[in-house]
Amino acid sequence: MVRKSSMLVAVALLVVMAFSAVAGASNDTLVIASGAEAVGLDPRLETDVPSFERINLINQALVQFATNMELEPALATEWTVSDDTMTLWFKLREGVKWHDGVPFTAEDVKYTYEWVLNPDNGALNMGLYADIEEIEVVNDHEVIFRLKNPNAFLMNNIARMPITPKHDGDRADFRQSPIGTGPYKFVSWTRDDRMILVANEEYWGGKPIIPNIVFRAIPENSTRLLAFEAGEVDIYQGGMVAQEIGRLEADPKYVVQRTPGTGYNYLGFNTKVGALSDVRVRQAVSHLINREGIVKNVLNGIGTPGIGPVSMSLPWFNENVVRYEYSIEKAQELLREAGYGPGEINLRLFTNENPDRMRIAEILQYECQRAGINVEVIIEEWGAYLARVQETDDFDIFILGWSGQLDPDRAMIRQFHTNGSNNYGKYSNERVDYLLDLGRTVPQESQESIDIYREAQEIVVREVPYGFINYTEEVGLHHPYIGNWEVHPYGAAAWQNAHLITKNK
């Protein structure tokens, strides 16, 4: 009797399960997948893309990057940069309210930046704003930034610092439940699972079309794609399963959007030690990077062969630089010129446990061997690897990438200036130093700025402190029932205009 009834219960359960299908969310909810959980939601403290994917819906900066990477108004409606790039003036949008109804004013701007610039607060990105000397509140809707040093590109950093409310920003759990001025309001967050946002009906940019947004953190790329195909996820950007892109693009059930990204991958050379201190040896190795092959076979076509440090979509990009086409003969010739015979150069190439980088390392090892250079590949855990590259010069070559290179200053000064904070290979060239310093003092929209950085690129590419491998590419994936969304070159900004997205399932 007992057995019979428990059987009945089991059957009933199964029937219920069978009929309550896991339907995707309704048109009222947009489900966005993300490759990692946010670390936190305080724009002053976070530095990672997954955090900013979410933050940029809740909090907003004075200006923001449009999908063509030009600055567009956000909390500021107008701005000017003085000719000496030392003074920035902003006119703030009127009538904007924080999610709790308090009006947004210039005091909030001043508060945010002073908080970031206070060393005791431990803001990781403090260095990006170190040139700011003081912030002057002219009136509720006007603010002036005065700088210590010229910095024509500070605007781009300002676009990456959403403003936080003065009246609420010091709340102990602000980082876990922020309020902002953006199109969506924070509701709840179960870490490693989901974050729920609801439309800000009074958003200055118009009432959001989809009332709810749910962010789901799915760390495994294959699972994320399967969840998308099963209809449990509506849309996501980044973290694609590269091998599947071809199939997804051919399938009318899905929409794949691609755009050049803002980063690049490179070989970093130790320019001070051993054979690589000779520019000809570095040029030879650069000739041994099979860029087309790597993009096609390792990256499955996501990305484009690397040329220099500045992204192709930026106006400063210089296409007239030396190109190192893949050629064993050219490499051997350069090695002979430098006085090295086959087998006379031994190099140690380091990388971390990133599968793409490990394959690139193996390919390079093979190509180098064909040209008579012995390369030992050493793979290290990320923390140990980073410590080696940043703290020691105990390496010949390393593989790393830069992301978010939104202007030529960011793409070059830390990397190639003699005193650059991230010049791990100790590259040094007086003319480059001069140009990179000069570039900061010239307004970024001017022709002079373009000329300065084009020359700097020419020298850097010729002297090869880096062997450029590839430019990155951003890929977005959504169902056809999603409309009015464009993949963003800068992944962190992917959802900043989510209030315009439509869903008609």
Partner 1 sequence: MFRYIIRRLIQMIPLLIGVSILVFLLGHLAPGDPVRMLLGEEATAEDVARLNAVYGFDKPLPVQYFRWFSRAIRGDMGQSIRQSIPVSKLIFERLGATIELAVVSVFIAIMLGIPLGLFASTRRGTFWDYITMVVSLIGVSMPGFWLGLVLLSYVALNVSWMPMFGRDASIIGGLVTLFTKFRGDELVSALRYILLPSVALGTSMMAIIARLTRSSMLEVLSKDYIRTAQAKGLKKSVVVIKHALRNALMPVITMVGIQFGAMLGGAVVTETVFAWPGVGRLVINAITQRDFPLVQGGVLMMALIFTVVNLLVDVAYAFVNPRIRYE
By CB under 8 A, name the binding residues for partner 1: 13, 16-22, 39-40, 45, 47, 119-120, 122, 124, 126-127, 175-176, 190-194, 216-220, 222-224, 226-227, 229-230, 232, 381-388, 390, 400-402, 414, 421-422
Closest CA to 475 of 223, 225, 238, 229: 238
CB of 453 to partner 1, least distance (A): 20
> Shortest Cβ distance from residue 127 to partner 1 (Å)?
6
Q: Nearest distance from residue 189's CB to partner 1, in Å?
A: 11
Nearest approach, Cβ of 282 to partner 1 (angstroms)? Answer: 21
Looking at the Cβ atoms of 39 and 338, the one nearer to partner 1 is: 39
Report how far residue 364's alpha carbon sits from residue 287's, in angstroms, rounded to the nearest whole number: 10
**Cβ closer to partner 1: 137 or 226?**
226
- Nearer to partner 1 (CB atom), residue 423 or residue 497: 423
Asked whether 32 and 214 are in contact (CB, 8 A), the reply is yes
Amino acid at 88: L
Q: How far is the CB of 68 from partner 1 (least distance, A)?
A: 25
Tokens representing residue 340 in the block: 């090295």
Shortest CA distance to 465 belongs to which of 263, 272, 264? 272
- What are the two backbone dihedrals, phi and then psi, of residue 204, each rounded to the nearest 5 degrees? -65, -25
CB 262 within 8 A of CB 67: no
In angstroms, give the least distance from the CB of 36 to partner 1: 9
240 or 281, CB closer to partner 1?
240
User: Based on CB atoms, which residue is closest to partner 1, 283 or 405?
Assistant: 405
Q: Is 430 exposed, middle or buried (0-12, 13-18, 19+ CB in 10 A)?
A: exposed
For the bound state, the minimum distance from the C-beta of residue 455 to partner 1, rounded and expressed in Å, comes to: 25
Sign of CA dihedral 57, 58, 61, 62: positive
* Least distance in angstroms from the C-beta of 396 to partner 1: 18
Q: Which of 146/194 has CB closer to partner 1? A: 194
Q: Which two tokens stand for residue 482?
A: 């999603």
Pick the closest to residue 498 from 60, 7, 47 (CA basis): 60
Q: Distance between CA 463 and CA 224 in Å, rounded?
A: 42
Q: Could you tell me which residues are beta bridge partners of residue 135? A: 145
**Residue 428 corresponds to which tokens in the numbers above?**
């040094």
- Please, are residues 268 and 315 in contact by the beta-carbon 8 Å criterion? no
CB of 218 to partner 1, least distance (A): 4
User: What's the min distance (Å) between Cβ of 380 and partner 1?
Assistant: 8
Which of residues 37 and 367 has its CB atom nearest to partner 1 in the complex?
A: 37
Looking at beta carbons only, is 145 or 174 nearer to partner 1?
174
Residue partners of 281: CB distance under 8 A and separation at least 6: 275, 334, 335, 338, 340, 345
Cβ distance to partner 1 smaller for residue 107 or 437: 437
Tell me how far, at minimum, the Cβ of 436 lies from partner 1, in Å: 16
Dihedral of the alpha carbons of 233, 238, 244, 247, in degrees to the nearest 10: 70
Q: What is the DSSP string of 342-398?
A: TT-EEEEEEEES-HHHHHHHHHHHHHHHHHTEEEEEEEE-HHHHHHHHHH----SEE
Minimum Å distance from CB 124 to partner 1?
Answer: 6
Distances (CA, A) of 208 to 33, 186, 204, 211, 285: 19, 14, 10, 7, 52
Q: Pairing mode, if any, of strands 345-352 and 373-380?
A: parallel
CB nearer to partner 1: pick between 100 and 220: 220
Picking from 272, 247, 301, the residue whose alpha carbon sits closest to that of residue 396 is 272
**Alpha-carbon gap, residue 267 to 89, rounded angstroms:** 40
Closer residue to partner 1 in complex, CB, 192/201: 192
The answer to whether residues 372 and 342 touch, using CB atoms and an 8 Å cutoff, is yes
Question: Which is closer to partner 1, CB of 122 or CB of 341?
Answer: 122
Q: By CB neighbour count within 10 A (0-12 exposed, 13-18 middle, 19+ buried), where does 489 fall?
A: buried
Q: Which residues share a beta bridge with 217?
A: 34
